[in-house]
Amino acid sequence: MVAEEFEAAFHRPLSEVDPEVARLINGDLRRQQEQLVLIPSENYASPAVLAAFGSVLQNKYAEGYPGRRYYNGCEFMDAIESLAIERAKQLFGAEHANVQPHSGSQANVATFLALLEPGDRIVAMRLDHGGHLSHGLATNIAGRLYDVAFYGVDRETGRIDLDEVADLVRRHRPKLIIVGGSAYPRTIDFAPWREIADSVGAYLLADIAHIAGMVAAGIHPSPVPYADVVTMTTHKTLRGPRGAIILCRQELAERIDRAVFPGLQGGPFMNAIAARAVCFREAMQPEFKAYQRQIVANAKALAQALMERGLKLVSGGTDNHLMLVDLTDRKISGRLAADRLEEAGIIVNRNTIPYDPRSPFVTSGLRPGTPAVTTRGMRESEMVQIADWIVQAIQKKTGEEGRRRIREEVRRLCEKFPIYPELDYLR
């Protein structure tokens, strides 16, 4: 092959280089446009965030930190990462930020590496009561390296019982307490957690992956004044790129940074860091606060409408962006309900509920959330319509035909709230 052909081949668009992958990406674009995304950890990142994430920065290695790199050519990398760090600190009022973790789990493991030795004790929330697998599940690295004791929620109220946590902490005497999870629908006040941690001299880690957007907007209490370390993903309610950040007090900064690199990771994804900087800038704008308020208003409207139509919710409602539907009083499992909803064009994930009699693969719950539909511009009245469809779609009697009809109605609603109208990977 002559050089000109080689170069011409390099510059061909995706749709020509790999039509198969282009078709698949476009297929999911259409799915995201035509279906109702109710998974509370998913969202639509803005075109600005997508542009930074898909930029040429993905080509650059930049091991180390601004001003202390192991590679040359990092002039712009230093500026971009410094910007992301300063914006993260400003947005959350934190003393130090590390913006390099590739994921929320990496951010948590880096925190453990920074603060703990193998065998040290942790107290965290049970996964099947709303925690997260990186908080100490037996098969996760945290469960294998550390001695973890779990708290859960009260069987009657569905809420965390702080007296139970304090008692467990007194008995287990952990070096680290983790507050936060992935399926807890209620507000967390972080101040009493600091007191509980201080009662045994433990570190406090707040994992705010799910509620980060609301914390940034000031409509959920912030853990920053109370926790030694705060971790969060940036792609859920915060609506940025995939990946995570760690906030901490200045005195822990060096330990956290060394744990992320070189402790756990090599080269940071500079494209993701640039996209994170964009996301933090977006989160500082007044419209972001309005967006977060609407997420919560929509969640409350959806929760209310589901309960009025006879569905039971763990803790009887929600204060944030998600709710847990308890299907134990019905014949249907979470898995079957989620599959029926998918047939109807409504994407929601099955989830264990506290004290779930079914396995984590089958479950008795659903975990709907409103960040993505709120990004599309939907409001309370659409939530009532969505609740109607959910209740109909999960019933056996609705049948395939009924679910096809709902899917068409869902598609028509989605058309009224367009998302990424300019995108087309087949061009």
> Using an 8 Å Cβ cutoff, are 49 and 267 in contact?
no
Using alpha carbons, select from 64, 82, 80, 83 the residue that is nearest to residue 72.
64
Site mask for ligand DSN (CB under 6 A), range 37-56, x = bound: ----x---------------
CB of residue 288 vs ligand DSN: minimum separation in angstroms? 21
Site mask for ligand DSN (CB under 6 A), range 162-201, x = bound: --------------------x-------------------
E strand or H helix at 3, and its extent? Answer: helix 3-10
Site mask for ligand DSN (CB under 6 A), range 118-137, x = bound: --------------x-----
* Residue of the chain from 64, 101, 104, 371 that contacts ligand DSN (CB under 6 A): 104
Q: 60, 69, 159, 242: which one is catalytic?
A: 242
Using alpha carbons, select from 124, 40, 45 the residue that is nearest to residue 320.
40
Using alpha carbons, select from 10, 203, 14, 28 the residue that is nearest to residue 120.
203
Structure-token match 């109605």, residue found:
409
What is the size of the binding site for ligand DSN (CB under 6 A)? 4
Binding of ligand DSN by 363 (CB under 6 A): no
CB of residue 41 vs ligand DSN: minimum separation in angstroms? 3
Residues 322-341 that bind ligand DSN (CB under 6 A): none
User: What residues are paired with 94 via a beta bridge?
Assistant: none
Binding of ligand DSN by 292 (CB under 6 A): no
Binding of ligand DSN by 315 (CB under 6 A): no
| Buried residues in 139-171 as b, exposed as e (16+ CB within 10 A) | ebebbebbebbbbbbeeeebbbbeeebbebbee
339 is annotated as an active-site residue: no
Binding of ligand DSN by 140 (CB under 6 A): no
63 is annotated as an active-site residue: yes
C-alpha 169/C-alpha 122 separation (Å) is 9
111 is annotated as an active-site residue: no
C-alpha 411/C-alpha 418 separation (Å) is 11
Name the residues that contact ligand DSN, by CB under 6 A: 41, 104, 132, 182
